[in-house]
A and B are shown apart, each in its own frame.
Chain A
């Protein structure tokens, strides 16, 4: 079974631009979540989607948004990029609303904002 696929692997953007990251979950997984990883803040939860609905959102500004499609694929958008948005963005999927199911992560998209 193919794992979680994130594209692109690397991105370089300029301040003020916007960016869209893509995530394809493991086949059959309906829950997708996004995390930001930085050296200073560590891993932080961005949001969670299940059946095309955002179920929970972390403490991030409105510039960070996401959506999930009917095939469970998800995209994350960051508008008006700031230098502090440089990070590794990780997408994770799980089968659904099962408490003890682990999250399966992709390889991440490394975003650099200059």
Chain B
């Protein structure tokens, strides 16, 4: 079974509107972390936001917020006021405590977001 599922193949949003990118995850760990990264066509992976499994409040970072629903095992990224520069691939990733590896993230397949002017 996939640990991180991102089913939206491609998303389009009008500039200045909000968009939600879906992510569901699967783990039996009680302690885990969820990350969102952005990858423009240049290839670099840019960290956007982090949510810990024990965090009671949804994470927010500027225009990015994470809609964390632990019981449903979902961690959707919300981008408010989309900008043309937001056009990129977006990856959801999870770090599980059981792996014992601080740097081992399991990534989803990614979602392509295109922002229309």
Identify the A interface with B (CB < 8 A): 31-33, 42-43, 45, 48, 50, 55-56, 58, 88, 90, 92, 94, 96-108, 110
| Chain B residues, CB < 8 A from A104 | 47
In-complex Cβ contact of B105 among A50, A55, A103, A107 (8 A): A103
User: Would A92 and B103 count as touching, CB distance under 8 A?
Assistant: yes
Q: Does B30 have its Cβ within 8 Å of any Cβ on chain A?
A: no
User: Would A56 and B45 count as touching, CB distance under 8 A?
Assistant: no
Q: Mark B42-67, 1 if CB is under 8 A from A, else 0.
A: 11111100101000000000000000
Total A-B Cβ pairs within 8 A: 75
Given A45-B104, A56-B99: A92 in contact with B110 (beta carbons within 8 A): no
Give Cα distance in the complex from A100 to B43, angstroms. Answer: 24
| Chain B residues, CB < 8 A from A102 | 35, 47, 50
Task: With CB as the reference atom, state the residue of chain A lying closest to B43.
Answer: A108
| Chain B residues, CB < 8 A from A45 | 101, 103-106
For chain B, residues 61 to 117, give those with C-beta under 8 angstroms from any C-beta of chain A: 91, 93, 95, 97, 99-110
In-complex Cβ contact of A99 among B37, B95, B109 (8 A): B95
For chain B, residues 1 to 58, give those with C-beta under 8 angstroms from any C-beta of chain A: 31, 33, 35, 37, 42-47, 50, 52
Give Cα distance in the complex from A42 to B107, angstroms. Answer: 8
Give Cα distance in the complex from A32 to B103, angstroms. Answer: 8
12 interchain pairs (CB within 8 A)? A43-B93, A45-B106, A48-B102, A48-B104, A56-B99, A56-B101, A99-B33, A99-B97, A99-B102, A100-B50, A102-B47, A107-B42
